[in-house]
Amino acid sequence: MNDMTPIAKTTTMKDWESDQEVRWCPGCGDYAILKAVQRTMPEIGADPAKTVFVSGIGCSSRFPYYMASYGFHTIHGRAPAFATGIKLANPELDVWLVTGDGDGMSIGGNHTMHLIRRNLNCQIMLFNNEIYGLTKGQYSPTSRLGTTSPTSPMGSVDRPALPCAFALGAGARFVARGFDVSKELSGVLKAAHAHQGAAFVEIFQNCIVYNKDRFEDFAAPKGAEARQLWLKNGEPMLFNKGTQGIALDAAALTLKVVDVVDGDWQAAGVIVHDVTNRSVAHMLVELPFGAFPMALGVIYDDPRPTFEQSLLGQDAKAREGKTPDLAKLLAKGQTWTVEE
């Protein structure tokens, strides 16, 4: 859960900008995410020397080069495995994973699942642009049905994966959503960082070259209030300036949109967001957009012991009171001596 102790800022946003020229397409949503992260780091009191950004392959995976911290740009889909080795070797490091829908959900889906299941203490930022950008526009595992692309000229026929539903299915203890240009993104990242364990954040990101304005239906500023449901722990699930809300359809065991008259959300049956309610989290990440607004913000946050705590704890226990003696180890078991 969020720790409310005030954080001492020791850096400025500038301290997090590397000297490398940023090479994304002009107008790419990645710029906004980069700025949001660089803005967030001082606010959480992060130390560049103790921070590692780890990425796989893809447009998003160039991210570490632009952060003035430690960074490791690895191979396609495998960033979670590198992050696991880094964190186990030095749990003091603050590890951030940067991945995309192709890197994290397709070639690296297996590693994403196991990282989440094990609950390694790190932040996973999955930039979802629903397209393969770096390889020039093929449809991705999150592309909507019927997406036309060089490899699906008649429209894609495979059903898209839902990253947040995938994460919950893998046992995630923290799931959140934001989008590139959202002012709320920094707050979502702060919550992810405060969570002890694998914090999964899906960030919708506009690929202006191959999948332009894909998320405009809910991300466009005009009319956003009717199409975005920003979740706040302990607060009723209201949107559209408080005139609508989300209620539980107990008979169908689903969520439903209800109208709120005169601000009386209780009367309308609007439910209060509880970040530890896993059942509701499952429903929120699967809400079909259109009939429902897009659920954004911290959807689920209920920590459990982290992987490195448990594993390194066992290591420490095994070492307790023991002085390693290699010579003794080699001479263990049934031995015999040949005399001079």
Partner 1 sequence: MATILADEQAAVAPHDNSTPEAVVVRFAGDSGDGMQLTGGQFTLSTALAGNDLATFPDFPAEIRAPQGTLFGVSAFQINFGSTDITTAGDAPDVLVAMNPAALKTNVPALKPGGLIIADSGEFSKRNLEKAHYAANPLEDGSLAKWTLLAFDISALTLESVKPFGLGNKEALRCKNMWTLGLALWMFDRDRAPLIQWLKDKFAKNPVLADANVAALNAGHAYGETAEIGGQIKKLHLDPVPSAPGLYRTVTGSESISYGLVAGAQLAGLKMFFGGYPITPASSILHNLAKLKEFGVTTFQAEDEIAAICSAIGASYAGQLGVTSSSGPGIALKGEAMGLAIMTELPLVIVNSQRGGPSTGLPTKTEQSDLYQAVYGRNGDAPMPVIAARSPSDAFDCAIEACRIAVQYMTPVMLLTDGYIANAAEPWKVPDPASYAPFPVSFLEQANGPDGTLLPYARDEKGARPWVKPGTPGLMHRIGGIEKNPGTGNLDYSPGAHQTMTDARKDKVDGVAGSIPAQDIDQGAAGGKLAVVGWGSTYGPIHQAVKRARAKGLDVSHIHIRHIWPMPANLGDLLKGYGKVIVPEMNTGQLKTVLRDQFLVDARPLNKVSGQPFTIAEIEAAIEAALA
Burial 205-243 (b: 16+ CB within 10 A, else e): bbbbbbbeebbeebbeeeebbebbbbbeeeebbbbbeeb
Residue 18 or 196: which CB sits closer to partner 1?
18
H, E, C per residue of 261-315: CCCCHHHHCECECCCCCHHHHHHHHCCCECCECEEEEEEEECCCCCHHHHHHHHH
Q: Which of 2, 10, 12, 90 forms a contact with partner 1 (CB under 8 A)?
A: 90
Single out the segment in contact with partner 1 by CB under 8 A; choices: 165-173, 178-186, 208-216, 325-333: 325-333
Q: Which of 35, 114, 278, 282 forms a contact with partner 1 (CB under 8 A)?
A: 114
Q: Which of 17, 43, 65, 190 forms a contact with partner 1 (CB under 8 A)?
A: 65
Closest CA to 163 of 222, 103, 226: 103
Which residues contact residue 141 at a Cβ distance below 8 angstroms, ignoring those fewer than 6 apart?
Answer: 101, 102, 105, 106, 109, 158, 160, 161
Q: Does 110 bind partner 1 (CB under 8 A)?
A: yes
Residue 262 or 320: which CB sits closer to partner 1?
320
Task: For residues 327 and 323, give the distance between their C-alpha atoms in angstroms, rounded to a whole number.
Answer: 12
Q: Does 116 bind partner 1 (CB under 8 A)?
A: no
Q: For partner 1, how many residues bind (rule: CB under 8 A)?
A: 60
3-state secondary structure of 34: helix
Single out the segment in contact with partner 1 by CB under 8 A; choices: 78-86, 177-185, 271-279, 291-299: 78-86
- Per the CB < 8 A criterion, the answer to whether 289 and 216 are in contact is no
35: its two tokens: 């700025």
Site for partner 1 in 186-215 (CB under 8 A): none
Closest CA to 256 of 233, 227, 284, 231: 284
Q: Which of 252, 253, 291, 338 forms a contact with partner 1 (CB under 8 A)?
A: 338
Q: Does 74 bind partner 1 (CB under 8 A)?
A: yes
Task: For residues 192 and 124, give the distance between their C-alpha atoms in angstroms, rounded to a whole number.
Answer: 9
Residue 153 Cβ, how far from partner 1 at the closest point, in Å? 30
Residue 248 or 311: which CB sits closer to partner 1?
311
Neighbours of 65 (CB within 10 A): 15
Single out the segment in contact with partner 1 by CB under 8 A; choices: 124-132, 166-174, 266-274, 309-317: 309-317
Q: Which of 92, 221, 262, 288 forms a contact with partner 1 (CB under 8 A)?
A: 92
Encoded one letter per residue, x for contact with partner 1 by CB under 8 A and - for no contact, window 42-61 reads ------xxx-x-x-------
Residue 319's identity, in one-letter code, is R
Residue 122's identity, in one-letter code, is C
Residue 20 or 276: which CB sits closer to partner 1?
20
Q: Does 89 bind partner 1 (CB under 8 A)?
A: yes
**Chain contacts with partner 1 (rule: CB under 8 A):** 18, 20, 48-50, 52, 54, 64-65, 67-76, 78, 80-90, 92-93, 110-111, 113-114, 311-312, 314-315, 318-319, 322-324, 326-327, 329-340
